[in-house]
Amino acid sequence: MATVKKVLKEDFGLVYPLFVQLNNSISKNHWRQLFTNHWNADEDYFGYALVDNDRAVGYLGLMFSSMIINHKKHKFCNFTSWTVQKDYRSESIKLLFPVLRLRDHTLTSLTMSSDTYFIFKKLGFSDLEDTVVIIPPLPTPESFSNKSQVSVNGQNITHSLEEQNLKLYQDHSNPIVHHILVQTEHEQCLIIATRPIKKNLPFAHLHYISNLNIFMECIEKIRLIVCLRLRATALLVDKRYLQGMKISRSWEYPLPRPRMYKSRNLNKDDITTLYSELMLLNL
């Protein structure tokens, strides 16, 4: 019978063989990113392992962070991975028990398998998102308007950011994350994106939009400039981010399985895909 062990930074070597079995296309250095406290969370561990005879036979990865939402600090715990060797599947649920006791955290799981989706549903998790919107870069007269400026990875972007957006920018300043600043005469919108490859095509996945009204007002310019600068086929955005607004010449694509969450204090419109493995592994 395997025992449950809290996984610390120095335990990366113990669980790395499980990562290789889970997805061998991700490099060892990228997996190691999940064992760094990038966002100065209070928690000093990165999940739980099932251990048998000093060998990890299962792992549930966790990523902790906090965000200011509606002027209040909220703590998050995101599931990064859940893998258990076949002979130990009957003991998989042991890994979840300590996490479910985190009553003061919003729990999220953004990269689900069919098996984990079924289990999380039984444990009271709700669907966070089941659809992404694909926005291709189709030029229109509005794409070349001078009423707004769209800057991608600009060197001086931090000079004009207010405190909350500045923290998000700083927390997500790494080589695979891109920052877009949309500036109109009186307002601005910060967009945080990655450039994942899906079905052999590059996309600009928008994980955060600070001002939806400005985003919609300038979408024709944003879709063209961002795709050109990042050499992306199209923009991807979770449907809930748009709050029911429609974008012309775009279409919806169902996710293989919904993203999920469980929270005592927040609803789905409060939750983004920031501070997750999507940002660190470029998934």
Residues in the chain predicted with pLDDT less than 70, given as ranges, are 23-24, 143-144
Q: Is 35 left (phi over 0), alpha (psi -120 to 50) or beta?
A: alpha
Q: What is the pLDDT of residue 209?
A: 96
Percentage helix, strand, coil for the chain under 3-state DSSP, each rounded to 5:
35, 35, 35
Which pLDDT does position 143 carry in this prediction?
Answer: 63
Question: Where is 219: in which H helix or E strand?
Answer: helix 219-230
Q: Return the pLDDT at 118.
A: 85
pTM for the predicted model, two decimal places: 0.88
pLDDT at 138: 86
pLDDT at 228: 94
Amino acid 235: pLDDT: 97
